Structure 1
Amino acid sequence: MLRHVQLALFLLGLAVAVGCDSSSQPEANVINGTPKSPAPDGVAALPPAIDIPADSTPVFKGSATALRSAFLGDQEDATKRFAGKWVQISGKFLQRGSNYIELEREDGVVGPSAHCQFQPNQGYDAMNSLRGRPITLKGVVDDFNFGATFLIHCEVIELGQDPQKLLTATVDEISEAFQTDEAAAAKQYGDRTLRVDGVVAEVKESELLLRGEDEKSTHFVACTLPISDPDLKDLKPGMPVKVIGSSATFGESADFQTHGKIVMLSYGRMWKEAAESAQ
């Protein structure tokens, strides 16, 4: 399923970063026993291999870490108890993809404890969270792979307060800030998650370049998005867009060197307009 491919790409990046051996093949789905068949980027996930119970009463309520620990402790027993059943879990937001969010582990290791997939056009209020935001949701246990519990048909039960206020800026504003006083701008934007509004200038695989409002603007912001994000294929030069990213830096981008020093954002994702009213 596509969600497995997305998480595999994320964990592969972590493995490279810490020098781990990523040559081993992923295991078969421990719940329905089917081998993984990665879908091409942008292809919708296949229908679930399990039936969604009509009775949505959770058979488990607790932390995402506790549910993960149940599978790690006795995978066969946990599969019998939770596979294909509704559960309710709580945790802190780690990151999001095109239609899912992941919750942090509580042991200090970078990686997800749970991978929670929403139905189409659902979950935008949760997906636009900032890292560390407390979230409680429920869903149907579909899989346990890559050290995380996979839930489908997820529904948000409760959203806590974001740990920090979302900053917003236009491409022109943040570019001028770095060009005027790089040290001050780095202090203001460097360790924050922010939304940047601009116009698409170029798209290169997973790299998105935004320009300022004026067509001849010399202000640019580069943002790295998940390569599997289906929104990428729909982006065209001249389109006004909003992206969320973090860790703003100022320098020369390897993908857009002709523009000199520009603002660069990491961990980017497209802002979902349906969530505007939830912020």
Structure 2
Amino acid sequence: MTLADTDIAPPEPPRYVMFWRRYRRNRAAVLGLFLFAIVIIMALTAGIIDPGDPLRRAGEPLTPPFVNWDTPLGTDQLGRDVLSGVFYGARISLLIGVAATLVAILIGVVIGALSGYFGGWVDDVLMRFTEAFQTIPNFVLLLTLVAIMGSKIEWITIAIGIVSWTAPARMVRAEFMSLRGREFVDAARNLGVSNSAIIFREILPNALPPIVVYASVIMALSILMESALAFLSLGDPNYASWGNMIGQGRAVLRSAPYCAVIPGIAIILTVLSFSLLGEGLNDALNPRQKK
């Protein structure tokens, strides 16, 4: 007896299996996941594979790559190990990217949810506030905040999150405006569910897919903005970040370009991985949008 004879449909695979099947159809997204995994491994193994302190002298200044195997990627103008800086820089860059993204998403979700759910004067006030932020270029506002709060890595991370919340807010607002009139929301209201419960328990879970996809964009932009600050000597000098390495390497760009090129390549590959990850997440979470 065959399965067709019994008229019993095969069980559907779990959601995570369906998600992975849709995700891996995009080869570029798989490449992005592979690059992202490399960055994660670098961040986790910093201090294990290369136990040297990235801020201490490890050899003669400006030793080229592949000359001394104690410092395989060479040393900078202060004799610090470039390989150690790249590994520790992965950790700092990821921490900044994740923390700044959480700050931006948290602010954006709260403002966008309130604006989209209540509408009316609440929507007008919050959207005018959002537009006021958008009138100032993000990097100019970031420079202002860093000048006010200081160049510690904690304040830099918060400042990046503050200048990055407007796009998520508008995205969440649009999702809430399209979902607030659905039947499941009306049913929750009729049952006496509070507005806060409807917002965070009923509507927000259904509005999460585009937010998750856009989070990868914010992470990439956060790393780029921190690198730009460090290039302008506004980064935290107490931490080895890729941006700090590029900023310090520009002084010897002609004589020892590897000091800036190697961390620059690390930034490019990391940002590329986030871009490809976002594309794959969009295909996996929104399969109907894919042509």
Q: TM-score, normalised by structure 2?
A: 0.25
Larger radius of gyration: 2
Which has the larger share of helix?
A: 2
Which has the larger share of strand?
A: 1
Q: TM-score, normalised by structure 1?
A: 0.26
